[in-house]
Amino acid sequence: EDQVTQSPEALRLQEGESSSLNCSYTVSGLRGLFWYRQDPGKGPEFLFTLYSAGEEKEKERLKATLTKKESFLHITAPKPEDSATYLCAVQAPGGSYIPTFGRGTSLIVHP
Amino acid sequence: SQTIHQWPATLVQPVGSPLSLECTVEGTSNPNLYWYRQAAGRGLQLLFYSVGIGQISSEVPQNLSASRPQDRQFILSSKKLLLSDSGFYLCAWSVSGRPYEQYFGPGTRLTVT
């Protein structure tokens, strides 16, 4: 059973059209939720870490929020250079240092 | 600042040939190190992770092995490649002792022919 589910799988936006990506998780006692951006043919680039419900982080046009069941990555007035796959990962309780990744949302922003 | 290197960037190998991919991290000590494989349209599959020199944990039984000969060096190997070993291989590191975010290398695109 997947612990991390991202939706939608793919999203096409017009430049300037704000939207949100969703990451829902089923682990209890979350130790951390991470967002990454991955460009084609490159390794994922770390964006944010969220630790507790109600927490928010911002970077340029991106804003990540966290509730007890899901996280949203809000993209405000996106530009074509925001096109990428966005990955979400969660860190469950316990001694393991292994996060669980979702399959990602592929975002394309048209000029 | 910390940096992570992987090489080679791309590799084309015939079935049955050996494999050696190398990853090194600079600017940190005793990092946790990870090898992932990413297939097209699929998520990241964790292959191996290491919390210290000589300490390797395997997540998926397969045709691959990993070694950590030095604190900041992680090597992925195979004695005989299979077609199914093709994919995008990513090395990552995280701060020792804490389940914090991972930082990824640029990746190696492996094609087995």
- Is the pLDDT at B53 greater than 70, yes or no? yes
How much is the pLDDT for A96? 67
Average pLDDT over residues A13-38: 93
How much is the pLDDT for B61? 64
Buried b / exposed e across B68-90, counting CB within 10 Å, b at 16+? beeebebbbebeebeeebbbbbb
Please confirm whether the linkage preceding A40 is cis (ω < 30° from 0).
no
Task: Quote the mean pLDDT of chain A.
Answer: 92
Average pLDDT over residues B4-33: 95
Nearest CA in chain B to A106: B41
- Is the pLDDT at A92 greater than 90, yes or no? no
Beta bridge partners of A33: A50, A90
Query: Distance from CA of residue B93 to its chain's centroid?
Result: 10
Q: Which of A97, A103, A106 to mutate to test the interface with B (most CBs of B within 10 A)?
A: A97
Cα dihedral across residues A10, A15, A18, A23: positive or negative: positive
What percentage of residues in chain B have a pLDDT greater than 70? 96
CB-based contact, B1 to chain A, within 8 Å = no
The SS3 assignment for B94 reads strand
- Is the pLDDT at A2 greater than 80, yes or no? no
How much is the pLDDT for B99? 60
User: At residue B85, what are phi and psi to the nearest 5 degrees?
Assistant: -80, -10
